[in-house]
Amino acid sequence: MQNVLDKYESVMEEKVTYWYPCGHVEDFPENAGACIKYKHAQIAVFYFARMGKWYACQNLCPHKVEMVLSRGMIGDAAGIAKVACPMHKHNFSLEDGTCLTAELPAIATYPVKIEKDQVLVGFNF
Amino acid sequence: MVGYKFCEKLVSKTTYKKENFEVTVFGEEMRPAYDRVHLSEYFLNNDARSLELANQDWYAENGIDLKLGELIKKIDIQNKTVESHKSEIYDFDKLIIATGSYPFVPTIEGVDKNGIFVYRTIEDLDQMIRFSEKIKSKGKNKAVVIGGGLLGLEAAKAVKDLGLETHIVEFASVLMARQLDARGGDVLKSKIEELGITVHTSKNTKCFAGEHDVEKMHFTDGSELDANMVVISAGIKARDEVASAAGLELGPRGGVLVDDKMQTSHPDIYAIGEVANFLGFTYGLVAPGYEMAEIVVSQLYGETKSMLESPDMSTKLKLLGVDVASFGDAIDIHHEHTPIIFENRHEKIYKRVNISADGTKLMGGILVGDAAEYNMLLQIYKNGMSLPKNPEDLILGSRNGAESLNDVSALPDAAVICSCENVNKGKICCAITDEGFDNYKAISKQTKAGTGCGGCKPMVQNILESELKKMGRVVKNTICEHFQYTRAELYDIVKIKGITDYDEALNTIGLGHGCESCKPALASIFASLFMETANKQPAIQDSNDRFLANIQRNGTYSVVPRIPGGEITPEKLIVIGEVAKEYNLYTKITGGQRIDLFGAQLNDLPAIWEKLIIAGFESGHAYGKALRTVKSCVGSTWCRFGMNDSVSLAVKIENRYKGLRAPHKLKGGVSGCIRECAEARGKDFGIIAVEGGLNLYVCGNGGADPKHAILLATGLDEETCIKYLDRFLMFYIQTAGPLIRTAPWLEKMEGGIEYLKSVVVDDSLGIGTELEAQMEKLVSDYACEWKEAIENDAIRKRYKHFINSEERDENIVFVPLREMKMPEPWK
């Protein structure tokens, strides 16, 4: 299981080697998450329609190692965009991946940009 | 127990090293130390091990040599050795005597007859159980407990739990004469007699009669009482004979004399617990015993702790289900203080506080029937705090809007709030003011307060609220940082302002971008106002509601079709079986009389539900904070005891409220007679048919804190019953906080069940018609949200694991479980 977790590492925007077009803006639910597949990775993509902002992170919750984060509820904690895991409601910052409710490993985050209604997630693999 | 506590305290010192101490514990019984305080629980679960304070491995792990079934019969204080009944000799550097006490058995003619027991050990109980079965098989069932003290009442509970007709015989004129005054004892007596136990006071037993088995008791006043079994609980006698034979000094009325360091007349020998005589008394409560154990441990570590004064005998107990508390100088034998007494014969409540002659200090008191003020009174007494202007407020509560006495802000910092972990108020305040913790969980984690028995939780919470208030922070149970309102306030605002969606609410009355607390709370409010299904605003639903299914351990979902009242046709059963087979689902009967299908992948949910809906099923809302099931017994249609067709009523009620969303889940039950096979009183609402109509109970639940539902109205016809249910449910939905079930909602309600009755039955707020009309609207606007989902392509599209691929989640792994399967266990 641990090696599944190790597969995911945050990608900084400046380190992106490939912007993967994963769908159109209208494919994604507003103010909620959806999961995309890129190579063997599962990535949760969140569309904060109220702010017009997009975030992406690993779909894997590090707590019990389940592929579920994309189904979590999103929102903010003191202005920080976050997702709450549907399993046990652990909160993770979507800005830097840190867990806001427990001492859990941070999740990997990925940059997202929109070009011509295309949603692009940045990877370095 | 005290001997064990000594071991526990010894090894829990941070400087404890196995190498530094060679500890041997001798016990006469074959079991390690067990909890005698809760001995009567043995009758309920018959599990001796659950009473153990620690198992044998614990002793071994901590380097303690535990010798069970080995009785020390001799102490040689010159050579510092002890000798066991096996004639083994062991030497010691320090000896701790914690032999406790014997039950005191008075010399009464016939006391050796069969069927006369003492109440002290598990063996005693085993013998009582066997004997009670023997006499019951002969049609005899009269049991007498001699002694109306603390232990006697515990024994009476045990005897009653054995199913025997129970009598208590007390020599004194009052029960619990050591803790209660005559009036308090009298109230306790009437309360106990309410339970079907007969209490005989001022009775002196002359002899026991009977051939072999005891049959009758004769009293000195010439009266007699049938008795097929007798339990003697007439007090305790220190087990000091070995100490005495060794030449250690005893007190005049027994007990090994000890000084304030628990040292006996030999400096290397200590005595603790019931065997010790300190300041002329022996102490039959655990708390002083534990304090003594602590003192000996500190001696062994070279510290200087000692007993400062006579041990605190304050105590709060639940005896036979009755709260009884006594603290300080409770009885005031010497009439030095001024008593203030409140007595309510109707509710069987007695409260007394003794005020110092100058009217400034609390000296002691008694509470019977309602001991809610005990913690606060004990703090005031122990800390010598000044009294309120009207000292009667101590037991009557403040009236005319005066500051509530339960205001913890008056407590000094030294007041011990959590006695399990010895945390004082100062430490808790410090965690709040200096370290910035602002919720109970965090404070508890930081200070350890409340991590033991949890009894101090309300006080810790009160301190938190009071400290936050002092810091100028508004204390309100607001939903979250995004909405500064309670759920009830939000409900009203949304209704009055006509707000119809979440974003509108956030924009007009909220802050920020929402979270997993306020989104489902508002979703629930919209559902309660407009009966909108979870499909309309999916992004604000809790993730289970968003997908109309319960997420399970490996990210797959469970499917629960509604089976109203638990009634299902063979045809529908076959469909469930076929669907489960086709999708390889694990099937289990739920506690709510329906069938749960586990292991469905997100992608398959619409197809599964399509099949179920064609067969006539609807969503069971098992994923929602909504009506779940109305459980029923089989009722008068089949059952020879039934008074009512409970299944038909349950089906009707479940269909009436299906889809109803609420602050938390709702469960109901209908039983056709008082045998209550539907366990309706363990539900949020329960109906039990009796001679003359239906009894309606509300606000029960199972779960972590089980509560029996409370009677709201009796002898109702079906129409009135449903009317009251409509009002009750709507009132709950409108006023409860998020994720608060009906039982805690009622607990927090000012005026409690009487107030709820006045609102629902007497319509004291004049909102009855309005509540009924709102419920009627919700009932008529119901739609099955799964039917809605499968008929709508846009909604069906939500059921994909990947948005950019038709593939499924390859990480889902199942392992075999008997003939079915389960998710791979978490690592």
The number of C-alpha atoms within 13 Å of B76 and in the hemisphere containing its C-beta is 12
- B826: closest chain A residue by CA: A64
Instruction: Categorize the per-residue pLDDT at B405 as very low, low, confident or very high, splitting at 50, 70 and 90.
Output: very low
Judge if B96 and B242 occupy the same domain. yes
Indicate whether B270 pLDDT > 90. yes
Q: Would you call A66 and B482 a contact, using CB atoms and an 8 Å cutoff?
A: no
* pLDDT at B541 exceeding the cut of 80: yes
CATH number for the domain including B218?
3.50.50.60
Distance from CA of A90 to the nearest CA of B (A): 10
pLDDT at residue B401, as a whole number:
42
Which run of H or E residues covers position B317?
A: strand B315-319
Cβ–Cβ gap A22/B804 under 8 Å: yes
Comparing CB atoms, the residue among B481, B518, B538 nearest residue A32 is: B538
Q: Which of B543, B739, B810 to mutate to test the interface with A (most CBs of A within 10 A)?
A: B543
The answer to whether residues B310 and B278 touch, using CB atoms and an 8 Å cutoff, is yes
Q: Is the pLDDT of residue A65 over 60?
A: yes
* Beta carbons of A75 and B516 less than 8 Å apart: yes
A1 and B CB contact within 8 Å: yes
A76/B515 CB distance under 8 A: yes
Candidates A30, A37, A68; nearest CB to B539: A30
Please tell me which of the candidates A35, A68, A73 has its beta carbon nearest to residue B802: A35
> B513 and A81: CB-CB below 8 Å?
yes
| Residues B647, B748 within the same domain | yes
> For B113-141, what is each residue's pLDDT tens digit?
999 999 888 888 889 989 999 999 999 99
Residue-level pLDDT at B472: 76
Banded model confidence at residue B403, pLDDT cuts 50, 70, 90: very low
Q: Return the pLDDT at B44.
A: 65
User: Side chain identity at B783, as an amino acid letter?
Assistant: A
On average, the pLDDT of chain B sits at: 89
Of the partner residues A31, A36, A51, the one whose CB lies closest to the CB of residue B803 = A36
Kindly write down the DSSP assignment for every residue of B392-440, as one continuous string: THHHH---TTPPPTT-GGGS-TT-EEETTTTEEHHHHHHHHHTS---SH
Q: How far is B69 from chain A (nearest CA, A)?
A: 47
**Dihedral over alpha carbons B160, B163, B169, B174 (to 10 degrees):** 30
Number of Cβ pairs closer than 8 Å across A and B?
Answer: 94
CATH number of the domain encompassing residue B669? 3.30.413.10
Residues of B in contact with A89 (CB under 8 A): 516
* B92 and B34 share one domain: yes
The beta strands (E) that lie in B512-589 are given as 550-551, 557-559, 586-589
Asked, for residue B820, whether it belongs to a domain, the answer is yes
CB contacts of A30 in chain B (<8 Å) are 539
Beta bridge partners of B341: B352
pLDDT of res. B453: 58
A2, A37, A60, A65: best to mutate for the B interface, most B CBs within 10 A: A37
Q: How far apart are alpha carbons B119 and B106 in whole angstroms? A: 14
Q: Does A15 touch chain B (CB under 8 A)?
A: no
Find the mean pLDDT for residues B507-522. Answer: 94
DSSP state string for B609-645: HHHHHHTT--B--TTSSBEEEEEE---TTT-TT-SS-
- Cα separation of B483 and B501, whole Å? 15
Which chain B residue shows the shortest CA-CA distance from A119?
B804
Band of residue B404 on the pLDDT scale cut at 50, 70, 90 = very low
Domain assignment of residue A76, given as a range: 2-123
Q: Average of pLDDT values for B185-212?
A: 92
Q: Does A30 touch chain B (CB under 8 A)?
A: yes
What total number of domains does chain A contain? 1
**Where residue B748 falls among pLDDT bands split at 50, 70, 90?**
confident
Task: Tell me: do B6 and B155 sit in the same domain.
Answer: no
Lowest mean pLDDT among A47-61, A94-108, B664-678, B684-698: A94-108
B345-399 pLDDT, tens digit per residue, is 888 999 999 999 888 889 999 999 988 888 888 888 887 887 877 888 888 865 5
Q: Do A77 and B798 touch (CB under 8 A)?
A: no
Query: How close does chain A come to B826, measured CA to CA in Å?
Result: 7
d(CA B636, CA B639): 5
Contact A76 B516 (CB under 8 A): no
Q: B175: which 2 tokens?
A: 């029960």
Q: Which residue has the tokens 């990210």?
A: B555
Nearest to A68 among B481, B514, B551 (CB): B551
Residue of A nearest to B811 (CA): A67
Hey, are the CB atoms on B803 and A48 less than 8 Å from each other?
Answer: no
pLDDT of B317 strictly over 90: no
Contact B807 A37 (CB under 8 A): yes
- Using a CB-CB distance cutoff of 8 angstroms, which residues of chain B are in contact with residue A4? 811
Q: What confidence score (pLDDT) does residue B474 get?
A: 60
Cβ-defined contact of B539 to A51 (cutoff 8 Å) = no
Q: At which of B300, B324, B350 does a domain end?
A: B300
CB contact under 8 A, A29 and B482: no
B627 pLDDT more than 70: yes
* CB B537 within 8 Å of CB B501: yes
For residue B142, the model assigns a pLDDT of: 94
How many domains does chain B divide into?
A: 5
Question: Could you tell me the CATH number of the domain that includes residue A7?
Answer: 2.102.10.10
Check whether residue B634 and residue B768 sit in a common domain. Answer: yes
A22 near B CB under 8 A: yes
All residues of chain A having their beta carbon less than 8 Å from the beta carbon of residue B551 are 68, 71, 86-87
Residues of B in contact with A81 (CB under 8 A): 513
What is the predicted pLDDT for the residue at A2? 52
In chain A, residues with a C-beta closer than 8 Å to the C-beta of B548 are none
- Can you name the residues that pair with B501 across neighbouring β-strands? none
C-alpha distance from A79 to closest chain B C-alpha (Å): 7
Which has the closest alpha carbon to A95: A114, A67, A113, A76?
Answer: A76
Helix pair B518-530, B487-497: axis angle to 10 deg: 50
What confidence tier does A1 reach under pLDDT thresholds 50, 70, 90? very low
Cβ <8 Å between B802 and A75 = no
B633 and B763 within one domain? yes
Residue B46 lies in a domain: yes
Q: Is the pLDDT of residue B448 over 90?
A: no
- DSSP letter string over B213-232? B--EEEETTS-EEE-SEEEE
* Residues 6+ positions from B534 with CB-CB distance below 8 Å: B523, B527, B541, B545, B546, B548, B624, B785
Together in a domain, B202 and B167: yes
Measured between CA atoms, how close is B798 to chain A, in angstroms? Answer: 9
- Using CA coordinates, name the residue in chain B closest to A30: B539
Domain identity same for B769 and B662: yes
**A82–B contact, CB cutoff 8 A:** yes
For residue B15, name the pLDDT band (cuts at 50, 70, 90).
Answer: confident
Q: Name residue B658's beta-bridge partners.
A: none
Q: What is the mean pLDDT of residues A11-29?
A: 94
Q: How many CB atoms lie within 10 A of CB B131?
A: 19
The model's confidence at residue B436, banded by pLDDT at 50, 70 and 90, is confident
Write down the pLDDT at residue A10.
93
The verdict on B124 and B79 lying in the same domain is: no
Domain holding B508, by residue range, is 487-544
ipTM of the complex, rounded to two decimals? 0.94
Q: What is the band of B619 on the pLDDT scale with cuts at 50, 70, 90?
A: very high
- The whole-angstrom separation of Cα B109 and Cα B304 is 50
- Least confident piece of the model among B93-107, B419-433, B572-586: B419-433
In this structure, are B573 and B643 located in the same domain?
A: no
**pLDDT of B289:** 87
A50 shares contact with chain B (CB less than 8 Å): yes
Among B187, B215, B234, give the residue marking a domain's end: B234
Q: In whole angstroms, what is the distance from residue B658 CA to residue B671 CA?
A: 19
Nearest to A78 among B481, B553, B805 (CB): B481
Residue B341, SS3?
strand
Looking up residue B558, the CATH number of its domain turns out to be 3.90.480.10
Question: Whole-model pTM?
Answer: 0.56
Of B516, B519, B807, the CB nearest to A89: B516
Instruction: Give the CA radius of gyration of chain A.
Output: 13
| A27 part of contact set with chain B, CB < 8 Å | yes
Q: What would the mean pLDDT of B669-694 be, rounded to a whole number? A: 94
Contact A42 B538 (CB under 8 A): no
Which residues in chain A touch residue B538, judged by CB atoms under 8 angstroms apart? 29, 32
* Residue where a domain stops, chosen among B204, B234, B264: B234
* Distance between CA atoms of residues B561 and B199, nearest Å: 54
Confidence of residue A33 (pLDDT cuts 50, 70, 90): very high
pLDDT above 50 for B694 = yes
Residues B531 and B553 in one domain: no
Which pLDDT score is estimated for B189? 93
List all residues 6 or more positions away from B484 whose beta carbon is below 8 Å from its beta carbon. Answer: B476, B478, B511
- Nearest of B138, B167, B172 to residue B227 by alpha carbon: B167
| Residue B477 within a domain | no
Question: Do A86 and B551 count as a contact with CB atoms less than 8 A apart?
Answer: yes
Backbone angles phi, psi at A117, to 5 degrees: 65, 5
The one-letter code for the residue type at B229 is M
Nearest CA in chain B to A101: B442
Of B515, B543, B554, the CB nearest to A75: B515
Tokens read off for B453: 């028995």
pLDDT of residue B605: 97
Q: Check pLDDT > 80 for residue B704.
A: no
Q: Report the distance separating Cα B13 and Cα B6, nearest Å.
A: 11
Residue B420 banded pLDDT, cuts 50, 70, 90: low
Decide if A84 and B516 are in contact by the 8 Å CB cutoff.
yes
Percent of chain B with pLDDT over 70: 97
A10 touches chain B (CB under 8 A): no
| Residue B674 and residue B742 share a domain | yes
Flag whether pLDDT at B238 surpasses 70. yes
Question: Is the residue at B596 inside a domain?
Answer: yes
- Contact between B261 and B306 under an 8 Å Cβ cutoff? The reply is yes
Is residue B447 in some structural domain?
no
